[in-house]
Structure 1
Amino acid sequence: MAHGHKSDEKIVYVGDSRVIKKTQEQRLIPRDYSAYPGKSEAFIPNFLLKEWMVGVVVLVGMLVLVMSDPAPLGYPADPKNTAFIPMPDWYFLFMYQLLKYPYTSGDYVVLGAVVVPGLLFGGLLLAPFLDTGKERRFYRRPIASSLMILSLIACTYLTYTSWSHYQVELKEKNIIPEHIKREEEMHANKGGAAGEGAKKETKKAAAIVAADDPGAAIYAKATCLACHGAQLKGMPASGVPALLGVGDGHTKDDIMGIIKNGKGNMPAMYKPNIDKGLTDADIDKLAEWLSKQKTQ
């Protein structure tokens, strides 16, 4: 035992406090199993550390993609917009398409929404317990490999079919997806602001022309009121144009043609107005009044 700080003081050890050098078998670090045929490395920490490293790389890649290309945003949700076509994220498109078929929807919706997905995902969860063979080559595991290939083909086909059907619906109904329309509007607004420069002029909002005209009273009774509103402002976010200034680009005959034949998402409204109690003369006055709605 030593006391003080003298360099020449004799030191006497009581017991042995030195750390014992452990042998290869006694070390905490797992041995390398790669030299043993048929064996693999230790799960903790070797294999788990590799999995974590791969997970970190994938996570960083996803973060880079998210920051470089922000998620597209549409307009605020509007429950009155009947022209909107709801679409799930791409990884649910196959389930979305599955629920469109008659044998998985309607009276059989439980089959399509619960039973079929339950069997698919339940089988995937139970696969390690059902297929306990040691063979790793896929062609030596025909049942498991066949089921997996069949599932991949089914998911791919349903996803492709769902997206193709969505594109056809957009084309038939002449609809531009909201996130694309909003992005185009943002670019248009930026371009307009750049062209104006520092001087910004506020455009005067159009007002209703001839508010005391008999056509105005007919408009209040017509079906137009439900979508275009009492102030003729429409619902631009839902694809319903404003009628303020409609006379700038449409004559009375043009408006009458739209009432009788429809245009874009708007169906023909002549018969619904007749059924509502309006006469041919009323609709004629309505078209004439709408043609007077000009901004100049």
Structure 2
Amino acid sequence: MTRPDPGTAAPAATRARARLQGTGSIIVLRVLVILVALVLWQVMSGPVVPEYAVSKPTDVYDALTDMLGSATGWTDIKVTTIEVLAGFGLGVAAGTVMGLVLGSFPLLGRVLEPLVAAVNGIPKIALAPLFLLFFGIGSWSKITIAMTGVAFVVFYNVYLGLRLRERELVEVVQVMGGRRHHVLGYVTLPTLAAPFFAALKTGGPLAILGVIGGEFIASSEGVGHELFTAAQNLDAAAEFAGLIVLVALTLALNGVLTALDAYALKRLGLAARRRPRPRS
């Protein structure tokens, strides 16, 4: 059995410790920045900035505690989360299908791409009243708004990814006797992986934006409904508490997508391309 060279193992261990120390320092600095911002917020609220407009961190904490300690607050969070996940999932599915179909058939893509661009140019929130007429003030109107925003982002990334696929690689696989599933596995999927997951990370906040916008316009429950009610009541503390919930939802969704991205790239054998090269 071959023993590892001590001269090689020592520098590797040193680099690992340096990376851990660097990561720890970054985390500490981030926490310090947040603490300084909270202290300044607490001190400046009132003497410098009107307290009714920005509240105070202590009041926001109390409002957040009340929200998370009530059944109504958790119902609002549950409704918004379900609407975001449903709209995001349906938007990804619709955008992927559209991108694959129009990208696989060039003539169809040239005919329909300008029409898709024209519809995409309409602000999604402007379509909210139309969706409300179709689906009412229930969850489906918010899901449809979220789905529309996500679908176009995914469509363009998949569509352009297919158009930028290297024709030479496809021909090489076909010359070597490869069939459609070989082209799909060795050329298409590796080409689409990066733009597809980039679209997912972009579409997550768009789904949240669509749902909250729809809840602003007309809803009876949800985090957006509570934000709108807090704004009408000039309750800045409740407003910031709702924003904290949305930030947590965004971070959770982005974390799941990041983990899925890393797993998919590892399965496709593309993870090594993202690793930073060691410096000499």
Q: What is the TM-score with the length of structure 1 in the denominator?
A: 0.27
Q: What is the TM-score with the length of structure 2 in the denominator?
A: 0.28
Structure of greater relative contact order (alpha carbons < 8 Å, 6+ residues apart): 2
Q: Which has the higher helix share?
A: 2
Which structure has the bigger radius of gyration? 1
